[in-house]
Amino acid sequence: MRDVLGGMTRPALALALLAAAFGAAAQDFPVDIPGITADPSRPPPVGLLLPEVELPDLVTPLAILDRLVVPGTRLQLEWRPRGGISNAEIASPVVVARGAMAGPVLCLTAGVHGDEINGVEIVRRISHAIDPTRLSGTVIGVPIVNVFGYSRGSRYLPDRRDLNRSFPGTRQGSIASRIADGFFQDIVKHCDMLVDFHTGSFARSNLPQVRADLTNPDVLEFTRGFGATVVLHSPGNRGMLRVAATAVGIPAVTFEAGAPTRLEPAEIAEAVAAIDRLLVKLEMLEDPDAGLAPPTDVAAVALEAPEPAPIFLDSRWVRANSGGLLISQVALGQRVLAGQKLGRVINPVTNVQRYILAPVAGRVIGMAQNQAVLPGYAAFHLGTETSEQQAVSEAAKPHGPEVVAEDSDERPDSVKESDGEDFE
């Protein structure tokens, strides 16, 4: 974690304050500072005793996007890619809540894919709801990273490139690479941790879930803060925002919630609640339940007890083996048994219908919306629960079992049969 005191330790801070208080006069006689002097038997000069009170952590204004955000305030700034790329576009809003107390910088980003608007609302809601006077640390919310795609209702940039395959980017690269570089330098470099919000893609929907590289200890620790949210091991693809951020020492995860092109209140609320829990876990906000009397009767205790965060590792996509109209018979989040019917595919020409069966027991963590499909279409994503310990040891294996693959849709030929079809 970055030193929020700007590298200034407490003794150094005390010295600096003393030097400022006494100025040149302090050089006219030897100064012994209590607690720092090598000779504790000598009494300190009169008037130089430090007060007994704890020095509060120093919170400085945050310098970002050519502005200063002072502690205890929120400021909405604008970000534009450098080099005149965005002349005709709206600016990307950047909401900075600088806490009154010291703490880490948590960045929340969404809309890297412009059609994934659940995340836009999630980040907007959290960023504007946080009370900076009660916050320890800083929350930087960027609800619409890819304003180009957002204004067109598109996943992509104007050149059809995927911004989430372009990080950290370069100054001299493609349009996507330059936009990524600008965002990385202007925003991401300020973060101590980052959550990037996405949804399922191409008419698929995801149960709210964190995707993280569990082989990275800092990322693993970060995932423990989301409470009862599904966590999937996923090393991610080159060019993803979370992969690039983690590579420079900023633990980062993707948070998937729902489907693209729509606003889903339940998924949005679940994600907002997960971030609220994260802020408490990171000690950036006080636990609203702290200090409340614990429930006394057993039933109430059972209701109050938080569900442990399940971790799914052995996830797999179940495909349609015939073409036609896909109609699901399960819901997101539902637990299914091996052999259970997940849905059916009806051929409207031959009037034949076939069922898609669950090959294993598990929980539906992603699924296609009802639609016309071709044989081979990935229709249901099943996750099998495992322990954190098991998830981490499986993730560490060089050729572990199938994990959530996130191959780029720009290279469909490279997608292996065993790969999933989740495009973060």
Residue 67 β-bridge partners: 64
Our CB check for Zn ion shows the closer of 181 and 422 to be 422
Minimum Å gap between C-beta 164 and Zn ion is 6
Minimum Å gap between C-beta 377 and Zn ion is 19
Our CB check for Zn ion shows the closer of 80 and 211 to be 211
DSSP string for residues in 89-135:
SPPEEEEEEE-SEEEEEEEEEE-SSTT-HHHHHHHHHHHHH--GGG-
265-281 and 117-129 helices, crossing angle to 10°: 50
Minimum Å gap between C-beta 246 and Zn ion is 17
| The two three-digit tokens of residue 312, written as one number | 């799914």
- Positions in 343-402 near Zn ion (CB under 5 A): none
Residue pair 88/114 in contact (Cβ under 8 Å)? The answer is: no
Residue pair 182/174 in contact (Cβ under 8 Å)? The answer is: no
Q: Does 165 bind Zn ion (CB under 5 A)?
A: no
CA dihedral 16, 17, 22, 27 (to 10 degrees): -20
Minimum Å gap between C-beta 351 and Zn ion is 37
Our CB check for Zn ion shows the closer of 314 and 421 to be 421
Q: ∠ CA(199), CA(284), CA(281), 5° rounding?
A: 65
| Contacting range for Zn ion; rule: CB under 5 A; set: 17-25, 113-121, 178-186, 312-320 | 113-121
Minimum Å gap between C-beta 65 and Zn ion is 24
Per-residue contact flags (x/-) with Zn ion for residues 187 to 226, judged by CB under 5 A: -----------x----------------------------
Our CB check for Zn ion shows the closer of 198 and 277 to be 198
Our CB check for Zn ion shows the closer of 190 and 211 to be 211
Query: Over the Cα atoms of the chain, what is R_g?
Result: 26
Q: ∠ CA(284), CA(285), CA(290), 5° rounding?
A: 135
The phi-psi region of residue 45 (left if phi > 0; otherwise alpha if psi is between -120 and 50; otherwise beta) is beta
Our CB check for Zn ion shows the closer of 257 and 285 to be 257
Our CB check for Zn ion shows the closer of 261 and 340 to be 261
User: CA-to-CA distance for 122 and 139, rounded, in angstroms?
Assistant: 13
- Residue type for 231, please? V
Give the residue closest to Zn ion by C-beta: 198
How far from 161 is each of 117, 201, 227, 292, 407, CA to CA, in Å? Answer: 19, 15, 34, 51, 14
| Contacting range for Zn ion; rule: CB under 5 A; set: 25-33, 115-123, 321-329, 387-395 | 115-123
Nearest residue to 164 via CA among 149, 186, 185: 149
Our CB check for Zn ion shows the closer of 113 and 277 to be 113
Minimum Å gap between C-beta 109 and Zn ion is 11
Our CB check for Zn ion shows the closer of 178 and 198 to be 198
User: CA-to-CA distance for 336 and 329, rounded, in angstroms?
Assistant: 11
Minimum Å gap between C-beta 202 and Zn ion is 10
From 113, 161, 190, 381, residue interacting with Zn ion (rule: CB under 5 A): 113
User: CA-to-CA distance for 339 and 362, rounded, in angstroms?
Assistant: 11
| Contacting range for Zn ion; rule: CB under 5 A; set: 105-113, 277-285, 297-305, 357-365 | 105-113
- Positions in 16-75 near Zn ion (CB under 5 A): none
Minimum Å gap between C-beta 136 and Zn ion is 30
Our CB check for Zn ion shows the closer of 4 and 245 to be 245
| Contacting range for Zn ion; rule: CB under 5 A; set: 112-120, 175-183, 245-253, 342-350 | 112-120
Minimum Å gap between C-beta 121 and Zn ion is 15
Minimum Å gap between C-beta 162 and Zn ion is 9
Q: ∠ CA(388), CA(392), CA(398), 5° rounding?
A: 155
Nearest residue to 25 via CA among 48, 43, 53: 48
| Contacting range for Zn ion; rule: CB under 5 A; set: 89-97, 116-124, 176-184, 378-386 | 116-124
Burial 362-399 (b: 16+ CB within 10 A, else e): bbbbbbbeeeebeeebbbbbbbebbebeebbebbeeee
Our CB check for Zn ion shows the closer of 77 and 110 to be 110
Total site size for Zn ion, rule CB under 5 A: 3
User: CA-to-CA distance for 249 and 192, rounded, in angstroms?
Assistant: 8
Minimum Å gap between C-beta 177 and Zn ion is 18
Given the rule CB under 5 A, which residues bind Zn ion? 113, 116, 198
